[in-house]
């Protein structure tokens, strides 16, 4: 299962508008958004990068004024982490990967006054982008580039969902374009002041349900912490592996 998930993530990188290959790595970049979560590299399966390969990868990020960073499943390329650590990279975290097999989805408790729908207007897409912006602690104000990103998601076969509670934008999330039937459920966010009321679970469950309805084979995700891990487990997700997030502090190599 881990190799299927890694292949799905790599394929999405290759489909991104701005990506590049260097040595045994492929990297994606977002010119409009410097957030490290939107700019990262993935190694090839079974990659054994040399010091020169890693220096070249670092330079690709520095040339674009981005933090050198990778997201990948260590089980798919065991030699990569030691090579990166030798070059000065530091582990951000090791996150569990979870998936919900067909038939395992469990309906969460009903949230009175909650409406879930797939946004299509600029106004609704911006409402979703705004909730995500503040929920994830992004600096400054949300911008309209986020609307275009969300629109590309569903235009390319993925899903976006907005939650409205008593007429107020309350949360939402998305599923990536499917690759071999796999889709990543991501960006689940709940507005501050409306948390711990079941909105996040409702969003995740509805996205998962829609994914199965559209013929996706397996939704997978990376929980943001132990609390969200419990929420996803409560609707049928189970741990299938581990993902490594690793970056180079200060953006400069050792030596």
What are 37-96's pLDDT values in tens digits? 899 999 999 999 999 999 999 999 999 999 999 999 999 999 999 999 999 999 999 989
Helix (H) or strand (E) holding 98: strand 90-99
Contact of 184 with 15, CB cutoff 8 Å: no
Token pair belonging to 189:
């966010």
Closest CA to 117 of 77, 66, 173, 55: 173
Output the pLDDT for position 251: 67
Place of tokens 């400054």: 140
Q: For the segment 209-219, what is each residue's pLDDT rounded down to a tens digit? A: 999 999 999 99
Q: How far apart are CA 139 and CA 134, in angstroms?
A: 8
Contact of 45 with 77, CB cutoff 8 Å: yes
| Residue ranges per structural domain of the chain | 2-96+243-251, 114-236
Token pair belonging to 225:
């912490």
Token pair belonging to 95:
């996150």
Domain covering 2-96+243-251, topology: Aminopeptidase (3.40.630)
Q: Note the pTM of the prediction, 2 decimals.
A: 0.83
Report strand pairing: 218-221 vs 182-190: parallel
Domain covering 114-236, topology: Aminopeptidase (3.40.630)
Cα angle 167-169-171, degrees, rounded to a multiple of 5: 135
How many Cα atoms are found within 13 Å in the side-chain-facing hemisphere of 111?
Answer: 23
Q: For the segment 14-52, what is each residue's pLDDT rounded down to a tens digit? A: 988 899 999 999 999 998 888 898 999 999 999 999 999
What is the chain's length? 255
Contact of 18 with 31, CB cutoff 8 Å: yes
Token pair belonging to 233:
């487990």
**Percentage of the residues of the chain whose pLDDT score is greater than 70:** 98
């Amino acid at each position: 299962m881990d190799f299927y998930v890694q292949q799905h993530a790599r394929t999405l990188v290759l489909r991104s508008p701005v990506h590049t290959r260097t040595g045994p790595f492929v990297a994606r970049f977002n010119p409009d958004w410097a957030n490290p979560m939107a700019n990262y590299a993935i190694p090839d399966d079974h990659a054994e990068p040399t010091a020169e390969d890693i220096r070249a990868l670092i330079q690709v990020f520095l040339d674009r004024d981005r933090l050198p960073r990778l997201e990948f499943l260590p089980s798919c390329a065991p030699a990569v982490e030691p090579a990166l650590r030798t070059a000065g990279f530091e582990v951000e975290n090791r996150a569990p990967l979870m998936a919900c097999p067909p038939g395992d989805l469990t309906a969460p408790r009903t949230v009175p006054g909650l409406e879930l729908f797939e946004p299509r207007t600029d106004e609704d897409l911006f409402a979703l982008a705004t909730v995500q912006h503040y929920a994830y602690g992004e600096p400054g104000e949300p911008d309209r580039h986020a609307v275009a990103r969300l629109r590309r998601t569903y235009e390319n076969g993925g899903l976006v969902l907005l939650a409205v509670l008593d007429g107020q934008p309350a949360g939402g999330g998305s599923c990536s374009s499917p690759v071999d039937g796999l889709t990543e459920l991501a960006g689940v966010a709940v507005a501050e002041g409306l948390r711990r009321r079941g909105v996040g679970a409702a969003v995740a469950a509805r996205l998962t349900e829609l994914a199965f309805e559209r013929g996706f084979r397996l939704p997978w995700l990376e929980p943001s912490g132990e609390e969200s891990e419990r929420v996803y487990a409560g609707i049928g997700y189970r741990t299938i592996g581990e993902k490594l997030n690793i970056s180079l502090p200060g953006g400069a190599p050792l030596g």
